[in-house]
Amino acid sequence: MCLTPIGICSFFLIFLMIQNAYSGFESTNVKCTSHDESYATFEYCFLKAINRTYKYVSIKVKLHQVPVRKVKVNFALYERLNGYKPFLYNVTVDACNYLLKPKGNPVVTFIFGLFAPYSNMNHSCPFNHDVTVEKVPFSYITSQLTDILPFPKSSYAFFSEWYGDGKRRATVEVYGTLT
pTM attached to this predicted model: 0.79
pLDDT below 70 — which residues of the chain? Answer: 1-25
Q: Is residue 156 packed enough to be buried (19+ CB in 10 Å), middle (13-18) or exposed (0-12)?
A: buried
pLDDT digits (tens, 9 = 90+) for 101-121: 888 788 888 888 888 899 998
Q: How many domains does the chain have?
A: 1
Range of the domain at 96: 25-178
pLDDT of residue 20: 42
With respect to residue 161, please indicate whether it lies within any of the assigned structural domains: yes
> What CATH number has the domain bearing residue 83?
2.70.220.10
With respect to residue 8, please indicate whether it lies within any of the assigned structural domains: no
With respect to residue 155, please indicate whether it lies within any of the assigned structural domains: yes
